[in-house]
Each structure stands twice: as structure tokens, then as C-alpha cells.
Amino acid sequence: MPIPIDPKEVAFTAIRAQGAGGQNVNKVSNAVHLRFAIHASTLPDAIKERLLALSDQRITTEGVVVIKAQTSRSLEQNKAEALERLQALVDSVATLPKARKATRPSFGAKQRRLEGKATRSTVKQLRGRVRSLD
């Protein structure tokens, strides 16, 4: 279940987009910087911790998520895309990682592994210098 993000906690800044666009790109600020402070948000504490633990370049050391959206020529579409990407980021940490259950390899698996190691060992030994039998 996705955790809703309060739109009041998100700050948008209109900036000029990069790249090609002709004369229009120099006049109109249609790209968007979205800023979302993780510490000041109303997200549950567990999700805040998992967000801050991510090694994502969009999260600053101060705990602020910065997302830049500039694919569309419309400011509103870029805002919507930035919000969707923020929601996807929060949803990715909302689901708990599945706990790993420790298992042991079967007897047959161990035997096959050792046979493979022995085969590789003989192949590598045959690559060595040829010794005379005297």
C-alpha cells in the first residue's frame, strides 16, 4: 500500500531546462526542482530511516530529496512527474525487505561442487611445465 506524501511538505522551484529547445529554452522556466525534507516530513519513522539509509544521489547529506524533472515542455507535467518519482522512491522503501532464511546446501550439491573443483584443478595442473620421467 503506497504511503501518501503531503503536498504541503514538497517545495517546487521552476528553473530553465537544459538541452536543445531553440529560442524557447532561454525564455521559459519549465523544468522543476522538487525538494522534500525527510526529517521534517510526516512519514513514519521507519520509512524515514530507510530513506536516509539509501545510497541514492538524489538524497543530500542533510536529508533532503532533490528531484529534477525537465522532460516535458509543460511546467505542470514536470511537477506531476517529479511527484511520481518521489512517490516511487518512498514506495520502494515502504515494503520491508524479506528476511533471509538460512539454508544449507544438500549433500549432492556439496559433492558436485567438489567434483567440479577437482576437475578444474587437474585442468590447471596440466597447463604447467612438462616434467621428464628420469
Residue of 45 and 25 predicted with greater confidence: 45
pLDDT at 23 over 80: no
Structural domain boundaries enclosing 61: 7-94
Residue 1 placed within a domain: no
Across 1-134, the runs of DSSP E, i.e. the strands, are: 10-15, 31-37, 64-69
| pLDDT, tens digit (0-9, with 9 covering 90-100), for 54-101 | 888 999 999 899 999 988 888 899 999 999 999 999 998 888 878 999
Residue 100 placed within a domain: no
CATH number for the domain including 31?
3.30.160.20
Residue 127 placed within a domain: no
- Residue 33 bridge partners (DSSP): 13, 68
Number of independent structural domains in the chain: 1
Whether this model's pTM surpasses 0.75: no
Residue of 110 and 94 predicted with greater confidence: 110
Residue in the structure block whose three cell numbers are 520491508: 96
Q: Three-state SS for 87?
A: helix
